[in-house]
Amino acid sequence: MAFSSTDDPSARQPAEGTLADRVTGLIAADIRSRVYPVNTRLPTEQSMTEQYGVSRTVVREAISRLKSEGLVETRQGSGTVVRDPKVSDAFRLGQPHQNPAEGVLRILELRRGIEAEMAALAAERRSGAEMTLIQQALRAIARAVKDGGDGVAEDLAFHIAISHAAHNPHYTELLGMLTRALHDAIRLTRTNEARRPELAAQVLAEHEAICAAIKARDPAAARTAAFLHMRNTGERIEQAGKDFWTGDSRAAAQRVARVKLGEAPRASSAPR
């Protein structure tokens, strides 16, 4: 899609946020308004860099966020394809909080039970191929960080790989509905943990413990490891100093807090 002569991109950009925030918002708005219909391919990275006047890095970050929000998905042989936005909008969380950490902590509390039981089921039910995917996802986190990334998308992919191994599609569907909040929540926790090497090492050890328990087919150990990972993540967030809750971190926390429970699907969403 190219902007028409009367289409002013700046008029649709949010007043605050990074370039990635703004491009994500623009593309998401076009998906919801059916400029990009369901099951059609998004334009190429090159087309979008020209359309929005940003770098490929910004476009890739925006696409990564849209995937996390469930608005697009990668299909083999088809590229990045638009999903039905009604699915993404069907479930929202929480109420805004004056304390920017509070919304993140509520997400983490919710995830404790979900992640713990999901890991236990994965330990019971996973196939050899699914175990390989979980291990690959774990290695991808370290590889992303080593290459200078934040590992957010890879961290989320690790947990989604576990959800598939649980052989209960509702876990994957629920994570898909929560990804808008989870993406920002994971970004916040990983940013906090990256400030201190010992915290990053703790997170790595916790992920490895979950993976090892699933590999050992030990549901009790997997449940405990996943629960402790969520609990410890919450504690690390609670211990973050006031200086952490500024700038991008505060903006991400505010996005988490704006996710609302029970918001009806947008009127423009076509039935699936």
> What is the reported pLDDT for 260?
41
> What is the reported pLDDT for 135?
97
> What is the reported pLDDT for 161?
95
> What is the reported pLDDT for 248?
58
> What is the reported pLDDT for 220?
98
Q: Write the DSSP assignment of the chain as a string of letters.
A: ----TT--HHHHS-SSS-HHHHHHHHHHHHHHTTSS-TTPBPPPHHHHHHHHT--HHHHHHHHHHHHHTTSEEEETTTEEEEPPHHHHHT-------SSHHHHHHHHHHHHHHHHHHHHHHHHHH--HHHHHHHHHHHHHHHHHHHTT---HHHHHHHHHHHHHHTT-HHHHHHHHHHHHHHHHHHHHHHHHHHTSHHHHHHHHHHHHHHHHHHHTT-HHHHHHHHHHHHHHHHHHHHT--GGGSSHHHHHHHHHHHT--TTPPPPTTPPP-
Taking the chain (272 residues) in consecutive chunks of 10 residues, what is each chunk's mean pLDDT?
38 57 89 90 92 92 84 84 74 52 76 94 97 96 82 86 95 75 65 69 91 98 96 80 55 50 33 30
